[in-house]
Amino acid sequence: MKEINLAVIGSGSTYCPELMDGFIKAQDSLKLKRVAFMDIDERKRTIVGGLCVRMLEKAGIDCETVLTDDLDLALQGADFVVTQIRVGKLPCRHLDESIPLKHDLIGQETTGIGGFFKALRTIPAIANITDRMEKICPNAWLINFTNPSGIITEFLVNHTKIKSVGLCNVPINMVDDVKAAVGEDAQITYLGLNHLSWITSVKVNGEEMFDKLFDEGFAPTVMANIEDDGFDMDCIRACHGFPSSYLQYYYNRATKLAHLKAGVKSRAQVCMEIEEQLLEMYSDRELCVKPALLDQRGGHKYSLAAVSLIDSLANDKRDVQIVNLRNEGALDFMDDDDVVEIPALITADGPKPLPIEKVTNRHIISLMRTVKSYEKYTVEAAMTGSDSAALNALMLHPLCGDFAQAKACYEEMKEAHKQFLPQFFKS
Amino acid sequence: MKEINLAVIGSGSTYCPELMDGFIKAQDSLKLKRVAFMDIDERKRTIVGGLCVRMLEKAGIDCETVLTDDLDLALQGADFVVTQIRVGKLPCRHLDESIPLKHDLIGQETTGIGGFFKALRTIPAIANITDRMEKICPNAWLINFTNPSGIITEFLVNHTKIKSVGLCNVPINMVDDVKAAVGEDAQITYLGLNHLSWITSVKVNGEEMFDKLFDEGFAPTVMANIEDDGFDMDCIRACHGFPSSYLQYYYNRATKLAHLKAGVKSRAQVCMEIEEQLLEMYSDRELCVKPALLDQRGGHKYSLAAVSLIDSLANDKRDVQIVNLRNEGALDFMDDDDVVEIPALITADGPKPLPIEKVTNRHIISLMRTVKSYEKYTVEAAMTGSDSAALNALMLHPLCGDFAQAKACYEEMKEAHKQFLPQFFKS
Amino acid sequence: MKEINLAVIGSGSTYCPELMDGFIKAQDSLKLKRVAFMDIDERKRTIVGGLCVRMLEKAGIDCETVLTDDLDLALQGADFVVTQIRVGKLPCRHLDESIPLKHDLIGQETTGIGGFFKALRTIPAIANITDRMEKICPNAWLINFTNPSGIITEFLVNHTKIKSVGLCNVPINMVDDVKAAVGEDAQITYLGLNHLSWITSVKVNGEEMFDKLFDEGFAPTVMANIEDDGFDMDCIRACHGFPSSYLQYYYNRATKLAHLKAGVKSRAQVCMEIEEQLLEMYSDRELCVKPALLDQRGGHKYSLAAVSLIDSLANDKRDVQIVNLRNEGALDFMDDDDVVEIPALITADGPKPLPIEKVTNRHIISLMRTVKSYEKYTVEAAMTGSDSAALNALMLHPLCGDFAQAKACYEEMKEAHKQFLPQFFKS
Amino acid sequence: MKEINLAVIGSGSTYCPELMDGFIKAQDSLKLKRVAFMDIDERKRTIVGGLCVRMLEKAGIDCETVLTDDLDLALQGADFVVTQIRVGKLPCRHLDESIPLKHDLIGQETTGIGGFFKALRTIPAIANITDRMEKICPNAWLINFTNPSGIITEFLVNHTKIKSVGLCNVPINMVDDVKAAVGEDAQITYLGLNHLSWITSVKVNGEEMFDKLFDEGFAPTVMANIEDDGFDMDCIRACHGFPSSYLQYYYNRATKLAHLKAGVKSRAQVCMEIEEQLLEMYSDRELCVKPALLDQRGGHKYSLAAVSLIDSLANDKRDVQIVNLRNEGALDFMDDDDVVEIPALITADGPKPLPIEKVTNRHIISLMRTVKSYEKYTVEAAMTGSDSAALNALMLHPLCGDFAQAKACYEEMKEAHKQFLPQFFKS
């Protein structure tokens, strides 16, 4: 059994007990030697970290634990670094989600304009983490959960020297939904980018079940953090793929926008309330297990995804998991260096993309390419502070497109997030 | 000097005297042996054809002329077939332009949703022409001017056996505008799809002048048939290409939509008025030359483009002209069978695409690929009557995107154009 | 029993058999001596009039019948003139309903901008009828059913010498709905303008039942010609009146607009289809009774309202009916000459408005006054062709308000309806 | 010469030196015996009050000055109480201005939905001041400058026992603009509500000059705090009144909304920056006069209006000034208790409304009545915490109207301003 040294960056996240719960359940396969909980927010670090330590103790896991705000200390000897940071915290998310509405744009924190700004704020912070990893633990794996996970991974694998994988809980949930409908042994074709993915084929004993599932009205369950506006069956018929929940922002753009504008609270404000409730619970020193309320924040099966990945990387399990990694020819219509979200064989040497049957669905090809161009421009803007790269990103984004709206929204948000975007305010 | 036999399909177009004017000016190089003027509208065929015949006579061109509504008769012995048809005429264009506004979509007749429906109506009519050409004049060249010219050419070169080239007067106007600014010997890089094109490089004596032209505020003249809403300089800086006038519909989508909605008359209605004025003029049997009013309809340099192309095809001139043809590797980011609008060497064996310097501008790559996917779906819909293909087209179109708007607008327009869309109403 | 001579102007209306049905049912009280069916549309006059004549015959009513396109002939000896005309017919209604959508305004044919233009076209035609009545039958009663009925009546009673009453089937339906819920002997307070009315009190045995009905979720049935978008209960609580169906256009303006824009067919287009079906049925010479399909057009209880009114006027019945007439002090917050829709005692000397309990509901007072100002400006515009009066009307209309939208929409519609609006195109 | 004891409530307002400047200029007529500067914000009270005291000293005015956060102390012996408070300060104003934009509503702080919420927050605070005045200085005059000034005065004169007048600098600026154009001796008819007013007649030597001024393109200068979107001349022709700047929000609603949505900063945010600059200036102990920058905040001629009013009240000057006061029959289309903004004779016994020529302009009558109904509902909501009254207010407001938008915006703003709206959260 592999012993591992783990560093959790952004350990004040109220999701963190979920992660610990995963390691506890996996203790027959993965032995934790040391866990470093690093966060710059003292209150959250202390409360959430306290619960995590109590959970490990109660589960009888005997490992060193460190609570710290010192990144270098956290990274000492790390084999795996999990990043789950939120630059500017939920108040910035509130701005991400609410300012775009004024400009008739969707602010959503991963797929929408909010995700764009989150990426601009986050990439410099991630770059700082990889810089320190190069010095302190150059061989460690960075497992990224920070949203927008696809764009962050696009940055990580193409612009840093650190080994990294991007992870999301959407694929595992979508696949499990299909399996629940047709059986565990279904062969499922899943492809896309993070939060822009489809299941395009479901085979049981070699027989294609897609049309049958469609006729029965099957649709993957919508994630808990998204208001479900439904999918039009004519839309799914045309796309010929079961879409990820996040595609509602594309297919139902006008409806989503109207609902978001009609909302009293942003999702960020709802999350602030849930977070306060969770912190209050976590503060109870009698609590030594993950509370059920956690599932309300959309993190369903998050720990399963994370721990399975670390387990397979650590133990060279060579099973198939859906992760974000470089395409390297798996999809012939994407470039080799494009980060995509597809099934990969997880080995000690890293995830290896598995070849996928030839894709002829122009709808999927076109959306993936367009959004990838948006992502590449976003990474460029985050790294260089280029206004033109930023505007190019928004001009290509299917949820924006109009230059005047893009520019007005961009300028207002840049101003609002000024303190976290020094790269755009170099004199 | 080459003698040619010409068939003009849709000769009732009030642009036709412009075309004849071109042949008259080119008579030292091209000798017309026979011209067939074919149109199903008796009044316009007679009036416009009458003027054309008088123009040829006055110019001393001694050739056989035929006015007919019989396609087969018109095609007899043809070397060149020019198509300039308008299925459903201007009243259909009015519907194309006005219905989408109700759904907050732009109806424009080439680039907008109007162009989509124009293609659906037109492709079956073009297919009928090529079917007859296969029988009657299988070696003739089809020169297409019918809008949306890019989509029609996409159909022609990939789904018929007839040799064809797509033509538009936008490239020649854009290039001439640049030359007027920097000199005749400028080397200009022009690329794109029809009505989605950019000039990305302007070299004089090997020196790149693009940034200098940009700093001086240069922009190609906006076509007469488009209301000029201007380009934001930050937009051109980000795109790093001088855009075709039609890109205003993309970059200024919200503004264009607002202006179109505020307009009292559709462009179709304005054209109906101009057409009536022209027909009245043309009816004057004393008139034997092209009247100046013609230029108001956006056809500037149309005859120059058409006649130059025919001249070079007929006489193997091997000069460079910008036309719509299969990519065949000229742009490495597009498929070989994608019809693109780029410079080509015009030979007796047809136009040969010229290689273009490696394109790295993701903005252009992404827009061209997205719109090409839209075009391919449009051709599929027109050929098969598939609702899903039609909806896929609109979902990818950067001027639409939202499924609910697409579907509502599509259904209303399909109903409105029912008589011209039999392929969608098969029982 | 009173013998009456009746002239129906616009007798080609497919509602006309409904009216005849009413007279047939009332034959014990009203004896028809002569009925003149006048319409300028020959086909509809013949088909609809043919059915009406057959209905009268089958019912054993022995009266003179005249089918004519000659207004003067129709008016000969008339005691009652019923006007149900539609200037420009359903194609104009389609323009009324569809053009405003482009400007993000609601076009509805009575309450919306469509009603405004319908009034501009209709008032000159009504003025022509009253001019002829002054000459031919100066003592006849004009019963107006032509929409927008409130505005037409505003014109009739204040600007002509003819005795007139405006009628609508909304009040009788609303009152009957309430009675169905609480019993026939309920005392009901109904007030407002045509298509802008409320039931504000429902008493049974002196006890106020309004709040109880509200708590039970009572709302009057929505008319068949309006898509029901529902009323928000908080809205009805705030207004403290059960609103007429047409108030959905005010309270749910944005939703209505969105639904209208998403619609494939305008209401006019639906009506054209129903009309064709009806005309086909009516053409069947075997048919001698009113067909059931008629009720789909929103004319429920139309004949009951019309015949009851004529009966009471003719026979001095002195019962209470809700009609459109001059306020004359009944509502102290409205001017004496304002036409309102309230209960009146119907006498041979005309309807006499009944006093209503003091109204303190500012919501109702304010909406009634605002819409009345709009109506007065509309009448002025229709009579004078004043652009300023027209723009003032639209600026005050709660469904418009913005000057720029008003002006753009006004100019487009004025142009579209040019042939029916000579008063605005005087040189 | 009258000696007066003055209390300024909200003296931390950076406008306060403007007020002091007015008293300094008026010292020949008004002798200050005591000035109490009261504010709950210590920093602003100290800095602004410090400058005011230095200004008085430098001007040689020898009076007692008191800086305090104690309302009762400030009111001791007061003859005049000037209220210029801002409950929740500029951050609340930012919410007032920005939240409505999300719901496609204009948030402007007096005329828009922002003004509505400002009134809800302010009226309880004003009620507290008048409660204390009843105890401490029951005969003092309350001069209100707090916005929305019309609604606050509507509350003051109808729901408190304190003598009060509402004041605004718009009338004096509009009148002076006209006089600058036609001469000092012009007779000008000004009428309306606060921020909803028109000049409807301009006579010189008995001759009406309105149309001449209109033809010359005259329009009153737009206030510095409003972005000028211009007035359409057809609009002014239709209204037949020169409108106050604030009417741009009504006539150009859609354009204003678009511009506000496109803006990077709210007006509140701009004001915060100006305020900081001013406070920095004021902190300079060498500064003893009003700085010029003050004029950028729209307070032009504010002190002139205030001091002239106090002077005339104190000295029974019986001159004519335009103030906000009860109508008492001056406008026959408004109720006696409606607060209107019209010329009044200013006497020691208070302002007496002057009769105005009969108004027949339905546009003005209708807008004034509608907005007055909105104001009455607003006062009711502020006093009782009734959701229905609040929703009724917004349903009648010409800048809102749609119930669904009103409700969504209302609920979000109520939540955002929760701490200042206890009346709506009574259990």
Question: What's the CATH number where B222 sits?
Answer: 3.90.1820.10
Average pLDDT, chain D: 93
Number of domains in chain D: 1
CB pair distance less than 8 Å for B238 and A363: no
Chain B neighbors of C98, CB-CB under 8 A? 102
CB pair distance less than 8 Å for B408 and C262: yes
In the predicted model, what is the mean pLDDT of residues B344-361?
Answer: 94
Model pLDDT, residue B198: 97
Asked if B106 contacts B100 with a C-beta cutoff of 8 angstroms, the reply is yes
Chain D neighbors of C367, CB-CB under 8 A? 396
pLDDT above 80 (res C337): yes
In the predicted model, what is the mean pLDDT of residues C10-25?
Answer: 93
Alpha helices in C219-266 (DSSP H): 233-239, 248-251, 253-262
In the predicted model, what is the mean pLDDT of residues B86-97?
Answer: 94
What are the tens digits of pLDDT across the range C55-74? 999 999 999 999 999 999 99
Average pLDDT, chain C: 93
CB pair distance less than 8 Å for A235 and B403: yes
Model pLDDT, residue C363: 96
- Catalytic residues of A, which ones? 246
Asked if A103 contacts A409 with a C-beta cutoff of 8 angstroms, the reply is yes
pLDDT above 70 (res D295): no
In three state form, how does the secondary structure of chain D look?
A: CEEEEEEEECCCCCCHHHHHHHHHHCCCCEEEEEEEEECCCHHHHHHHHHHHHHHHHHCCCCCEEEEECCHHHHHCCCCEEEECCCCCHHHHHHHHHHHHHHCCCCCCCCCCHHHHHHHHHHHHHHHHHHHHHHHHCCCCEEEECCCCHHHHHHHHHHHCCCEEEECCCHHHHHHHHHHHHHCCCCEEEEEEECCEEEEEEEEECCEECHHHHHHCCCCCCCCCCCCCCCCCHHHHHHHCCEECHHHHHHHCHHHHHHHHHHCCCCHHHHHHHHHHHHHHHHCCCCCCCCCHHHHHHCCCCHHHHHHHHHHHHHHCCCEEEEEEEECCCCCCCCCCCCEEEEEEEEECCEEEECCCCCCCCHHHHHHHHHHHHHHHHHHHHHHHCCHHHHHHHHHHCCCCCCHHHHHHHHHHHHHHCHHHCHHHCCC
Closest CA–CA distance from residue B291 to any residue of chain A (Å): 39
Closest CA–CA distance from residue C272 to any residue of chain B (Å): 14
Nearest-CB residue to A261 (from D103, D263, D415) = D103
Model pLDDT, residue D289: 87
- Catalytic residues of C, which ones? 246
CB pair distance less than 8 Å for C261 and B404: no
Model pLDDT, residue D298: 58
Closest CA–CA distance from residue B271 to any residue of chain A (Å): 28
Model pLDDT, residue D221: 75
Domain span at residue C175 reads 1-427
Chain B neighbors of A240, CB-CB under 8 A? 388
Q: Identify the helix (H) or strand (E) that includes residue C276.
A: helix C267-283
Lowest mean pLDDT among C292-301, C308-317, D357-366: C292-301
Nearest-CB residue to A373 (from B238, B366, B398) = B366
Nearest-CB residue to B261 (from C102, C262, C415) = C102
Model pLDDT, residue C129: 98
Torsion angles phi and psi, residue B326, rounded to 5: -65, 140
In the predicted model, what is the mean pLDDT of residues C320-347?
Answer: 97
DSSP annotation of B8 reads E
CB pair distance less than 8 Å for B238 and A395: yes
Model pLDDT, residue C302: 82
Closest CA–CA distance from residue D267 to any residue of chain A (Å): 13
Chain A neighbors of D262, CB-CB under 8 A? 103, 404, 408
Model pLDDT, residue D61: 94
pLDDT above 70 (res D139): yes
Model pLDDT, residue A83: 97
Lowest mean pLDDT among A181-190, A303-312, B294-303, C310-319: B294-303
Lowest mean pLDDT among A288-292, B74-78, B268-272, C393-397: A288-292
CA angle D367, D371, D377 (to 5 degrees): 155
Lowest mean pLDDT among A142-151, C258-267, C311-320, D121-130: C258-267
Model pLDDT, residue A306: 92
Chain D neighbors of A415, CB-CB under 8 A? 264-265
What are the tens digits of pLDDT across the range C170-206? 999 999 999 999 999 999 999 999 999 999 999 999 9
CB pair distance less than 8 Å for C265 and B102: no
In the predicted model, what is the mean pLDDT of residues B60-78?
Answer: 96
CB pair distance less than 8 Å for C262 and B101: no
Under the banding of pLDDT at 50, 70 and 90, the label for residue D224 is low
What are the tens digits of pLDDT across the range D40-49? 999 999 999 9
What are the tens digits of pLDDT across the range D331-381? 999 999 999 999 999 999 999 999 898 999 999 999 999 999 999 999 999
Model pLDDT, residue B298: 58
CB pair distance less than 8 Å for D104 and A408: no
In the predicted model, what is the mean pLDDT of residues B275-291?
Answer: 90
What are the tens digits of pLDDT across the range B107-145? 999 999 999 999 999 999 999 999 999 999 999 999 999
Closest CA–CA distance from residue D257 to any residue of chain A (Å): 10
- Angstrom distance (rounded) from CA A114 to CA A93: 7
Asked if C26 contacts C311 with a C-beta cutoff of 8 angstroms, the reply is yes
Share of chain D above pLDDT 90, in %: 82
CB pair distance less than 8 Å for D261 and A412: no
CB pair distance less than 8 Å for D265 and A412: yes
Nearest residue to A50 via CA among A236, A369, A279, A238: A279
Model pLDDT, residue D218: 84
- Angstrom distance (rounded) from CA C239 to CA C236: 5
Closest CA–CA distance from residue B406 to any residue of chain C (Å): 10
In the predicted model, what is the mean pLDDT of residues B184-208?
Answer: 95
**Residues in chain B whose Cβ is within 8 Å of chain C:** 98, 101-104, 261-265, 404, 408, 411-412, 415
Asked if A54 contacts A25 with a C-beta cutoff of 8 angstroms, the reply is no
Residue in B with minimal Cα distance to C408? B262
For the record, the structure tokens of C407 come out as 């002006």
Burial of D184 (0-12, 13-18, 19+ CB in 10 A): exposed
Chain D neighbors of C395, CB-CB under 8 A? 235, 238-239, 251, 363
Model pLDDT, residue B259: 86
Under the banding of pLDDT at 50, 70 and 90, the label for residue B297 is low
Among C97, C102, C273, most B C-beta atoms within 10 A, so best to mutate, is C102
Model pLDDT, residue C299: 64
Under the banding of pLDDT at 50, 70 and 90, the label for residue B224 is low
Among D362, D367, D379, most C C-beta atoms within 10 A, so best to mutate, is D362
CB pair distance less than 8 Å for B373 and A365: yes
Q: Which residues of chain A have pLDDT under 50?
A: none
Q: Which residue type occupies A100?
A: P
Nearest-CB residue to C103 (from B261, B404, B415) = B261
In the predicted model, what is the mean pLDDT of residues B54-81?
Answer: 96
What are the tens digits of pLDDT across the range B162-172? 999 999 989 99
Under the banding of pLDDT at 50, 70 and 90, the label for residue C89 is very high
Residue in D with minimal Cα distance to C388? D238
Chain D neighbors of C196, CB-CB under 8 A? none
